[in-house]
Amino acid sequence: MSVQENYEIAKQAYAKWGVDVDAAIEKLKNVPISIHCWQGDDIAGFEVNQHELSGGIDVTGNYPGKATNPEELRSDIEKALSLIPGKHRINLHAIYAETNGEVVERDQLEPKHFENWVNWAKENGLGLDFNPTLFSHPKAADGLTLAHPNEEIREFWINHCIVSRKIGEYFGKELGTPALTNIWIPDGYKDIPSDRLTPRKRLKESLDKIFAVESDEKYNLDAVESKVFGIGSESYVVGSHEFYLNYAMKNNKLCLLDTGHYHPTETVSNKLSSMLLFSEKVALHVSRPVRWDSDHVVILDDELKELALEIVRNDALDRVIIGLDFFDASINRVAAWTIGTRNMIKALLHAMLSPNEYLKQLQEEGNFTERLALMEEFKTYPFGAVWDYYCENMGVPVKEAWLDEVKTYEQEVLSKR
């Protein structure tokens, strides 16, 4: 049977429960995913005075074909985008500036250092998001940045974040869609601290200085991101979830939840409904932790499906900003982007094909038997047929056919680097 025929059969099955499959597909077309550029080069960046990766971050593997310059990275992203349905965004870090061979310190970066990215984004109909890079730098070598006891170091990172917000604002003005500029810092201690309060006080003061500089929310949205621990900060992280949740609420900033930045038994899907009650918008970095914040490529597992369900069933597609954050150097990097992003979109489609309103009604009525029965039965409904149709309709490969294109790209492009 053809993709179209399978789709028509699937539509009938879902229609029985009031699910409008055509409407779901139309809605899905308008959901952008912010795809992280750093999967393509193992978070190396393009600084002239390139520094070793640090800040509790590690990338394992040495698969051939890593991007080594901006043109290669953009080419690889374009290839991945050609295999992913929909129109999306690209998320940049400050270390991806292009300075034409000139050493430019991070606190001196300007919009002009990202003009090539903006021009490329315009050509490809993409939005851009941004992150100051507070790791892989001599001034972050001891694991402290915005919470550093040395005022000079602290001011350096404060200024870096200020210029980063200006770059985000530049993206928004040029591309007609606001950039999300997200601040994450590695600050913490390996062993049990004797003072938890003072570093957090310094972090608060640093953030206050950063956000005291005006930025137009029409073009730039500010977010802060927490973490429970990192390599070298196992016992204490200054920017904890509680710290940033309170800071974001009090200062009208977005709280960004990274799915790998919590205790292994915590789920971000369970946090979303609470966040949405008190915040106009919530930001996500979707990753896959394996025992710890290991940033594995996103797969279509139960938590990803539940995360998507919480977004869809709470009618929050325009309130939750979805970004990805994983990096695996042990597999083909273009394939990693493709697998992870397609899975995020699959999860959203899967959630849209659930009879969410009816399931809510069953819960309100206390009919937990039918609720459980239907939730289980819908796990084997013909979701795959709808996904195949969506891919075909959007002009990207159906099923695993995309893998052949990646293999060809690897042979013709990546293997020659």
Q: Which residues are annotated as catalytic?
A: 184, 225, 227, 258, 261, 285, 293, 295, 325
Q: How far apart are CA 345 and CA 103, in angstroms?
A: 39
């927490």: which residue's tokens? 226
Query: Phi, psi at residue 181, to the nearest 5°?
Result: -105, 110
**Which amino acid type is present at position 318?**
D
Measured at the alpha carbon of residue 38, what is the angle toward residues 35 and 42, in degrees to the nearest 5? 145
Q: Are the C-beta atoms of residues 309 and 380 closer than 8 Å to each other?
A: no
* Residue 65 tokens, joined: 């074909």
CA–CA distance, 90 with 363 (Å, rounded to integer):
39
* Residues 6+ away with beta carbon under 8 Å from 252: none
* C-beta of residue 90 within 8 angstroms of C-beta of residue 126: yes
Dihedral sign, Cα of residue 111, residue 116, residue 117, residue 121: positive
The residue whose two tokens read 């500036």 is: 97
Q: How many CB atoms lie within 10 A of CB 68?
A: 12
